[in-house]
Chains A and B, each alone.
Chain A
């Protein structure tokens, strides 16, 4: 599978300008001799991240966005492609921070999956839940290349999320993100917040034997600089390609999903977890929480 992660730098709130820039990126990608299979963009890619009340003016119905994106691609390429990106979603008046996995064929497009961010950071500099509603489900989904899951930014910071995605069969995690940089102590020569992402992605890839496609937004938004640092991490935790913290760019990779099987064969932690997980969930201190979920919420 030929993969591009586009480290995108939007103009705040300017959808048309950002779609035009994305069209230019598509043209650049479509010009390569070997066609791309999957193109991944960051969280809030077409609008910028910190929107406050303007989110209601800039949210898309998913079908409308799918049509715009598919049209934008088809104007530049006759090849099929899969696209994944983060966007603000208007679901009939309920607003979400969402990510889409879209399959574009020459004559039609299909939304393969929409993930709605479940962990909406609402502390410190973040204020998502003031404006947006939480997603309620984490699902893995089948693609032409293998089973994947989408986790948006803070979703990834909760170890249970990639764990459940992997248990549900995901072999690759697509992680669109918009991460405002902070912490200038600079161990390893990167911002502390970037270093934390590195540790998180590495540990998660190794624990579950999954690919991680991390796409970071870039650009300053009212003094808050998004840290890019897009990267492709293989199921052994090796970084196959990484983008710098600042500046728009594309990272490109040939990804072999067979690596997942090889990594899991040599470090079968996911298999171990699948065997032990029922014991953990049936623990008499955990079970009441599990039962509460069964009674009060949609089934997991």
Chain B
């Protein structure tokens, strides 16, 4: 008998060269902010989670911490631990920081809608925070920097025209597990990297309970799905049919969230249909 060497099944890697990726994203931020738009300052909403922490770290490296304004925007039901974790980022970076409680703004509307369910309340909080970030950016001659990652974008796990609205986003093509790898490389405080991710819009909420699947699993399934693998081929790589179905259903039900609003076309010059100009032109 001579030995048999078994080949593995083809599958995309989620390994990250963190040094390379950080350098690339810092260069992206400098190009987009300073060179293209002539804006040297960034505003990042700090939630206490890993996505906004990594975004803040990248901005501080790209622009200098003195050009980074971090804004914490708690609502009265937000977890105090989120505020404390965000403080770890501020302390680590030595950047500018401000806390603006959004309870008054959110409740100022909700007083008219006392029966709003948790989902509606969460959306109102997210949209109010975006209002704050854009206004602070106008005040500080800065641009708001988005923090959404590829996993939540694909799963539609965000508030449309809120979390996704900043004009510049460094993390949007990184799966959550890649963001975690980058966080460890950047020395984001361990408490933030290790905790269960949460939108913190409702008490004791965690992403993975909301989604019904762990990010580690979801990221691998998504990476295969995006390359065109069908459900059977994905399952053959170590996933249950239920997991695969769950992820596919979330992606296929949320294509609209990854687009601008649908506009009725009436002419040969419809914007973004016929009249096509790149965003940086």
Q: Using a CB–CB distance below 8 Å, which chain A residues touch chain B?
A: 12-13, 48, 50-54, 181, 184-187, 189-191, 219-223, 225, 246
Contacts and interface: CB of A to CB of B under 8 A. Distances in A.
Chain B residues touching A, range = 20 to 34
A191 B27 contact: no
B280 interface: yes
B163 interface: no
Contacts of B36: 12, 220
Contacts, number: 65
State the 10 A-B residue pairs at the shortest beta-carbon distance, nearest first.
Answer: A186-B17, A52-B276, A220-B31, A53-B276, A222-B279, A186-B20, A12-B280, A184-B21, A222-B280, A185-B15
B213 to A, nearest CB: 23
Nearest to A223: B28
Given A54-B278, A54-B281, A184-B20, 20 more contacts: A12-B36, A12-B280, A52-B276, A181-B24, A184-B24, A185-B15, A185-B16, A185-B17, A186-B16, A186-B19, A186-B21, A189-B17, A189-B19, A191-B20, A222-B279, A222-B280, A223-B28, A225-B28, A246-B23, A246-B24
B278 A52 contact: yes
B152 interface: no
A271 to B, nearest CB: 37
Interface string B262-280: 0000000000000111111
B128 to A, nearest CB: 27
A184 B178 contact: yes
Given A12-B281, A54-B277, A184 B32 contact: no
A187 B36 CA distance: 31
A65 to B, nearest CB: 20
23 contacts: A13-B281, A50-B278, A50-B280, A51-B281, A52-B276, A52-B278, A52-B281, A53-B276, A54-B277, A184-B16, A184-B21, A186-B16, A186-B21, A189-B20, A219-B35, A220-B32, A221-B278, A221-B280, A222-B278, A222-B279, A223-B32, A225-B28, A246-B27
Interface in B1-38: 13, 15-17, 19-21, 23-24, 27-28, 31-32, 35-36
A12 B280 CA distance: 7
A225 B24 contact: yes
B275 A53 contact: yes
Interface in B216-272: none
Given A50-B278, A52-B276, A53-B276, A220 B27 contact: yes
Contacts of B27: 220, 225, 246
Nearest to B169: A223
Most buried by B among A48, A184, A185, A190: A184
A38 to B, nearest CB: 29
Contacts of A225: 24, 27-28, 31
Contacts of A53: 275-277
A13 B277 CA distance: 11
A222 to B, nearest CB: 5
A52 B277 contact: yes
Contacts of A223: 28, 32
B268 to A, nearest CB: 12
A53 B17 CA distance: 36
Interface string B126-144: 0000000000000000000
A126 to B, nearest CB: 13
Nearest to A49: B278
Nearest to A188: B17
Interface in B29-68: 31-32, 35-36
A77 B237 CA distance: 63
A186 B23 CA distance: 12
Interface string B146-190: 000000000000000000000000000000001000000000000
Contacts of B19: 186, 189
A223 B28 CA distance: 7
Contacts of B16: 184-186
A103 to B, nearest CB: 33
A191 B27 CA distance: 14
Nearest to A221: B280
A155 B273 CA distance: 29
A185 B16 CA distance: 5
Contacts of A191: 20, 24
B157 to A, nearest CB: 21
A267 B278 CA distance: 47
A190 B20 contact: yes
A139 B21 CA distance: 39
B278 A51 contact: yes
A219 B276 CA distance: 21
B223 to A, nearest CB: 12
Contact of B28 (A54, A185, A220): A220
Contacts of A181: 24
A187 B13 CA distance: 11
A185 B13 contact: yes
A71 B277 CA distance: 31
A48 B278 CA distance: 11
